[in-house]
Chain A
Amino acid sequence: MAKSNKPILWLPFAGGGLVAALITPVLILITGILVPLGVIHLNYETIAAFAHHPIGKLILFGAVALPAWHAAHRLRMTAHDLGLGGGGVKAACYGTAWLVILVAAGALIAT
């Protein structure tokens, strides 16, 4: 049997799963509950300053890109579980993830 290159897909999946588990719920808590309720105010200057700093860019990129990849890989596997295999599903899942990742990267570079 041929040597597998699956680690390319799996390592960011596993890393993204951990990042999503640690950080995604609190992000949704902020944008989905605390801001709409007016408990906190996401000040433009503060956020922009954070996104301007190289470390801030890296953190924001990691918080978007890794969970996005995690989601794409898991969805592809789930589609397979449901009998939806093939190149189309693969392209749709990873393609969407790449789109999200590149949009996020482009926006952070432009900020």
Chain B
Amino acid sequence: MSRRPYVRKIERNWWLQHPRYVAYMIRELTSLFVGLYCALLAIGLVRLAQGHAAWDGFVAAFSSPPGVVFQWLCLVFAIYHSVTWFALTPKAMPLMVKGEPVPGKLIVGAHYVAWAAVSAVVLMAAGV
């Protein structure tokens, strides 16, 4: 009897076929908005180097309605990135103390503390 194994090819829309793959794809898509915001920051640095008037123009541009809407989108995805990134840290960087694993919640929690601290420092530096 001859063998004739049947090979199924993965479909291009595989990521739509299970909720966990959709969640993964959203997580990966956060990078688009992180990247776009980095581009905005790079433009901001150029405008800063060009002097006072250029900087004020840049501030006016990102404070305009389209600029604000774009940044709201970026913020939602950036926060989703932070949350998903921190959630995975215990897997990538498990800690052992005295032969016992440190609970994952502690490692994630430490990242949230660091997130709050960095945010507070940046806000104070920005003049809040």
Residue numbers of A with Cβ under 8 A of B are 17-18, 20-36, 39-44, 46-48, 50-51, 60, 63-65, 67-68, 70-72, 74-75, 77-78, 81-83, 96-97, 100-101, 103-104, 106-108, 110-111
CA of A108 to CA of B46, assembled, Å: 8
Chain A at the B interface: mostly helix, strand, loop or mixed? helix
Q: Which of B15, B52, B62, B118 contacts A31 (CB 8 A)?
A: B62
Residue numbers of B with Cβ under 8 A of A are 12, 15, 25, 28-29, 31-32, 34-35, 37-46, 48-49, 52, 55-56, 59, 62-63, 67-68, 70-72, 74-75, 78-79, 81-82, 85-86, 111, 114-115, 118-119, 122-123, 125-128
Given contacts A75-B31, A104-B45, contact A26 B122 (CB under 8 A): yes
Q: Which of A26, A39, A46, A47 contacts B118 (CB 8 A)?
A: A26
Could you say which of A25, A26, A50, A108 has the most chain B C-beta atoms within 10 Å of its C-beta? A25
